[in-house]
Amino acid sequence: MPFDIRDILLRQNDTTPADGGIPAWLRESWSDPEGFIAALAQHHAGRGAAPPKSRPGQHYDFFHDLTVRHADSTAPAFRAWDAARGWLPLGYRELGDRASRRATEWAAQGVKPGAKVALVHGLGPELLVSLLASLKLGACLSVLPPTGTLFLSRRLTLLEPQHISAEPHQVPLLKGFEPLLLRSRGDAPPSFTSHTYRPTDTVALLFSPLVSPPDTPVALSAERAWTGALRDGLLTYGLGPGDLFAAPGLHFLQHQPALLFATLLRGATYLHMELADVERTPARLTESPLRTLGVSAALRAVLSRVHRGPLRGVAHWFRSAEEALDWESWRDWLRQSELAKVPHTHVLVDASEGGAVLVSRRHTEELHTGIAPAPGRAWALKDLNLSGQEAASDTGVFTPLPDKGRPPGHVILARQGEQYLFAGTRDARRSGRVYPSAEVVEALADLPFCSGACVTTVPSGGTPGQSKHVLLVFTGAEDPEHFERDAGPRRQALRHQLELRLGAEHLPDRVELFPLLPHRDKKGVLDEAWCRAQYATGALHQKSSDPLFQALTALRERARESVRGDDERPGSR
């Protein structure tokens, strides 16, 4: 069917029908994604300055469409808040020039089309310049935040990049990968045209925290990246040239570079503030009218504390669908900020899928739970046991198509009449993201008091559908007085180790210490099922205070030490 994009955009803020029904155009876009994307591209090309070079289904020039096309725009591509210097704008022309110069330098250092380039940058101008330089060269990029040493080394080892871009002060985080670092001085003259990707070319390998395990690099094709940015920029966020988009506190790996692509493709401005800066100067966030504001639970909590008045100048806001829907907190914030009359949506973004995969219709007044697959994407409800067959009932695993070679779905959708509901995830997660249990245990392996560790989940007594991640640490046989005295310092050491190696976001919800030894198999591998079962039944707690089990633990400890001593003697092997 022909899609009238102008009419669809005009009706976005219409009151949702009482039955929550799906509009006809949305249903048609699922069955005819190519026709829908073509209509979006035609509408997009008719707006703004120079026409885009990309053609859906044929070829994609990201560098041209994200920077060169908007070079004459008076609006900046990026605005970042600095407490000392205020707003720091980065214009489209300046961004293109800096990225072109960096691309020239990188080309001289061996960066070629298809080369894997890891961008270890926080969200800021350096990331944008390196991102666009990679796209101009036709590289396959990966974005990684400069967090823990183990977090980075594990992912870089799995990625096997040919090159790494990082700022000088981040080099200590990249121990062992220094030979791969690219040099950038910014004084090389730009002298060549930008690369054009074919639809099936891999434009990025991304580490999505929605994929299990989260250290799996997921390929993003040029077609998914460009069409996702087009759909999100036009429909999900409703951006146009010069509009301001902000989303402080949204998870970096889950949302980037999809949010940047959507903003730049439409010639809008990405406004960035750290949550700490919002807390210090909340008025700065909305001192200029925002076309769209992404409100994470963390941003909501900050604004609830420090910004008691109305939040003016916001035309549309959205929240992440996978985050816990704490009704009371959200309602209080809506009343406090006076945003009840402002249209809002629920969105699930996965950058490794090109952007938004689930989007609700726009609503006003109270929050809602309805949601639907994003327009212009083929999808299916698959069986809950991941057999691959379609769900027989109205509840199943949401699966974007084609799914061959893609990570399995994890979101459960329930069809209820003419609407869909977000019904949670197949496994226990933290705000929809996979908790890296194996990495947490690995990060603690060399602590002298840790004789074994594992992570278990327990249902939360708070928001429905949420779980708590509990770290179980076994210290081996110890005198009760010594164990109690050292419990506090050990918890601090655990926290420090995890923050240093993985980043603060991966701290567990609770840490339990036990003066016991965990069960291991014949190969010495810790029996996680036994640990979790023993904790769930309270057996670990009881054994920790039982003199008999303390004596047995001490005996086992002596036996282990004896075996280690025998093995260390010459000729013992």
Q: Please provide the distance, in angstroms rounded to a whole number, between the alpha carbons at the two ends of the chain.
A: 75
Helix axes 222-231, 33-45, angle to 10 degrees: 60
SS (H, E, C) 371-408: EEECCCCCEEEECCCCCCCECCCCEEEEEECCCCCCCC
Bridge-based pairing state of the strands 116-120 and 140-144: parallel
Average pLDDT of span 493-520: 93
The predicted-structure confidence for 133-184, as pLDDT tens digits, reads as follows 999 999 999 999 999 999 999 999 999 999 999 999 999 999 999 999 999 8
pLDDT-based confidence at 46, cuts 50/70/90?
Answer: confident
Amino acid at 146: P
Higher model confidence: residue 423 or residue 243? 243
Confidence at residue 568, expressed as pLDDT on a 0 to 100 scale: 43
Confidence at residue 16, expressed as pLDDT on a 0 to 100 scale: 53
Least Cα distance to 356 among 279, 292, 267 occurs for 292
The predicted-structure confidence for 315-330, as pLDDT tens digits, reads as follows 999 999 988 878 888 8
The predicted-structure confidence for 67-124, as pLDDT tens digits, reads as follows 999 999 999 999 999 988 989 999 999 999 999 999 999 999 999 999 999 999 999 9
The angle subtended at Cα 230 by Cα 224 and Cα 233, nearest 5°, is 130
Confidence at residue 571, expressed as pLDDT on a 0 to 100 scale: 35
In the predicted model, is pLDDT for residue 310 greater than 50?
Answer: yes
Confidence at residue 18, expressed as pLDDT on a 0 to 100 scale: 47
The predicted-structure confidence for 525-555, as pLDDT tens digits, reads as follows 999 999 999 999 998 888 888 777 777 777 7
In the predicted model, is pLDDT for residue 362 greater than 70?
Answer: yes
In the predicted model, is pLDDT for residue 522 greater than 90?
Answer: no
Contact at 8 Å (CB) between 436 and 506? yes
The predicted-structure confidence for 382-399, as pLDDT tens digits, reads as follows 999 888 898 888 899 999
Confidence at residue 495, expressed as pLDDT on a 0 to 100 scale: 95
Confidence at residue 14, expressed as pLDDT on a 0 to 100 scale: 62
Task: In whole angstroms, give the CA distance from residue 399 to residue 422.
Answer: 13
The predicted-structure confidence for 208-232, as pLDDT tens digits, reads as follows 999 999 999 999 999 999 999 999 9
Average pLDDT of span 321-343: 88
* Whole-prediction pTM: 0.93
